[in-house]
């Protein structure tokens, strides 16, 4: 009972967060930057920040995450980090030779007020950035927002630095996938290819954070969107932004900069969100949906209808990132489950507005943005649930309250699979259904009395 001190009685708190359901902005910026081909993320701050961000990503993806740091010490903390960053840029291009250095700030450099665009332009003027190489940046003050904000800021930075409009449209669609797994990015590309649509997915961490073991170390794995392709995003027919929190800022920036219209959709988790995604792709590209995708959809429908009695009425608690929770909650409602408690640590009123729509048929549902896992635990203590869904940090609540637990979201530190098997699309939904059923049926098997223990359930 590690969380035995969590009381049932709920008191209003304003200035205290206990067990936050988020992590810091640069983690997201680093993850997004890894989705550019030949890119080295750079943390403008102290070594400790960079070590934490790298380890958070390495533990989740089980891959070595490369990043450099401005290595602030006392001097930089007082006088600013310009000298450190200029030296870092020279060293990085000389030693590690990336195409792009993607700089994100940290709490310390934000408090000092380092002007990164000015430092980058000084580096350019002093010839520290070789021809054909780039240094981009985004601000990631971690005392506001969350890792999702940092991800969004870095993706917007890609548009700010790279997107160009030549005035001639190309037969291609931009997809900004939001914070999803490399497996999900691979699945989005597969679905688009199946429909014969040319897409530019950015960022794209597939073949970077799910790279195969080949016996050869590749400092920069082969995946990621290239700078040349990023530049052409300004000539695309349109942009599909998946998730308001992680993707909308970049899509809007592209619209303003290059007049590329965008559609905002939810991450395609489950049947309805995937239907909307496929339909938007179809309309934007002017193509028909191939039979192969119809069949995938049909298989998902078949499993849902075969097993719907196991889902019916089950109370679920969820926590994690807002874009993911909105899509996932909608899927659970469509399965006739009851997502009764949903919290995200990421601030943003939009989350509560959208959740109010998604959960309108569930009057007992409670949801909250900028909330913590302590509150979620208290809600569960007062009225238990049948299933808990969230990242690895949920295992303490699941253990103490004896609730079946499905790992979903970021970070997952104690299981594998998330990098390799998608959750998006009809195939991903099938996997989610399998995981939910396994969790519920394993519990039914465990708790059945001898006389009720059934071979066929």
Interaction site with ligand SF4 (CB under 6 A): 24, 26, 45, 49, 52, 106-107, 142
Cα separation, 382 vs 266, whole angstroms: 31
DSSP labels for 380-444?
A: HHHS--SEEEESGGGHHHHHHHT--EEE-SS---S---TTTS--BHHHHHHHHHHHHHHHHHHHH
Query: Which CB atom, from 109 or from 206, has the smaller least distance to ligand SF4?
Result: 109
Query: Which CB atom, from 95 or from 143, has the smaller least distance to ligand SF4?
Result: 143
Q: Exposed (0-12), middle (13-18) or buried (19+): which is 99, by Cβ within 10 Å?
A: middle
Cα separation, 283 vs 272, whole angstroms: 16
**Is the peptide bond between 411 and the residue preceding it cis, with omega within 30 degrees of 0?**
yes
User: Can you read off the two tokens belonging to residue 371?
Assistant: 């909330």
Query: Which CB atom, from 109 or from 427, has the smaller least distance to ligand SF4?
Result: 109
Q: How far is the CB of 372 from ligand SF4 (least distance, A)?
A: 16
Q: Which residues have a Cβ under 8 Å from the Cβ of 412 and sit 6 or more positions away? A: 60, 391, 392, 418
Query: Which CB atom, from 142 or from 274, has the smaller least distance to ligand SF4?
Result: 142
User: Can you read off the two tokens belonging to residue 342?
Assistant: 């949903």
Give the burial string for 70-92 (b: 16+ CB within 10 Å, else e): bbbeeebeeebbbebbbebbeeb
Q: How far is the CB of 41 from ligand SF4 (least distance, A)?
A: 13
**Is the peptide bond between 203 and the residue preceding it cis, with omega within 30 degrees of 0?**
yes
Cα separation, 323 vs 424, whole angstroms: 13
Cα separation, 53 vs 61, whole angstroms: 12
Q: How far is the CB of 86 from ligand SF4 (least distance, A)?
A: 21
Residues annotated as catalytic are 107, 111
Query: Which CB atom, from 142 or from 206, has the smaller least distance to ligand SF4?
Result: 142
Q: How far is the CB of 97 from ligand SF4 (least distance, A)?
A: 27
Q: How far is the CB of 113 from ligand SF4 (least distance, A)?
A: 15
Query: Which CB atom, from 72 or from 277, has the smaller least distance to ligand SF4?
Result: 72
Cα separation, 222 vs 98, whole angstroms: 13
Q: How far is the CB of 142 from ligand SF4 (least distance, A)?
A: 4
């Amino acid at each position: 009972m590690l969380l035995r001190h969590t009381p049932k009685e709920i008191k209003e708190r304003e200035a205290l967060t206990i067990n936050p359901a988020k992590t810091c902005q640069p983690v997201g910026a680093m993850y997004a930057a890894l989705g550019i081909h030949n890119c080295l993320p750079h943390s403008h701050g102290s070594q400790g920040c960079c070590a934490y961000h790298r380890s958070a990503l390495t533990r989740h993806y089980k891959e070595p995450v490369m990043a450099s740091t401005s290595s602030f010490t006392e001097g930089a903390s007082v006088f600013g980090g310009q000298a450190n960053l200029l030296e870092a840029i020279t060293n990085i291009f000389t030693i590690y030779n990336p195409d792009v250095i993607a700089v994100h700030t940290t709490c310390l450099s934000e408090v000092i007020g380092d002007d990164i665009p000015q430092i980058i332009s000084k580096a350019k003027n002093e010839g520290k950035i070789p021809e054909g190489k780039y240094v981009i940046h985004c601000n990631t003050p971690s005392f506001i927002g969350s890792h999702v904000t940092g991800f969004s800021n870095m993706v917007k930075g890609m548009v700010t630095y790279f997107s160009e409009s030549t005035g001639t449209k190309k037969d291609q669609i931009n997809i900004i996938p939001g914070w999803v797994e490399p497996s999900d990015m691979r699945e989005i590309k597969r679905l688009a290819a199946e429909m014969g649509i040319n897409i530019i997915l950015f960022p794209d961490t597939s073949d970077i954070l799910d790279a195969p073991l080949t016996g050869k170390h590749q400092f920069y794995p082969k995946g990621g969107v290239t700078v040349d392709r990023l530049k052409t995003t300004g000539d695309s027919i349109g942009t599909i932004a998946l998730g308001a929190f992680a993707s909308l800022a970049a899509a809007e920036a592209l619209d303003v900069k290059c007049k590329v219209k965008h559609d905002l959709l939810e991450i395609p988790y489950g049947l309805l969100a995937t239907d909307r995604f496929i339909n938007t792709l179809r309309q934007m590209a002017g193509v028909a949906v191939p039979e192969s995708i119809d069949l995938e959809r049909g298989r998902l429908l078949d499993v849902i209808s075969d097993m719907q009695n196991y889902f019916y009425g089950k109370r679920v608690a969820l926590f994690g990132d807002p874009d993911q929770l909105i899509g996932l909650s909608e899927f659970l409602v469509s399965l006739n489950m009851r997502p009764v408690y949903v919290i995200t640590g990421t601030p943003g009123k939009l989350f509560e507005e959208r959740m109010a729509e998604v959960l309108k048929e569930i009057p007992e549902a409670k949801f909250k943005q900028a909330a913590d896992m302590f509150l979620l635990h208290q809600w569960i203590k007062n009225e238990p649930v049948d299933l808990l869904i969230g990242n690895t940090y949920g295992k303490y609540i699941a253990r103490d309250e004896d609730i079946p637990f499905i790992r979903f979201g970021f970070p997952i530190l104690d299981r594998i699979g998330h990098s390799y098997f998608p959750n998006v699309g009809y195939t991903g939904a099938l996997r989610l259904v399998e995981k939910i059923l396994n969790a519920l049926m394993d519990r039914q098997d465990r708790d059945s009395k001898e006389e009720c223990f059934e071979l066929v359930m």
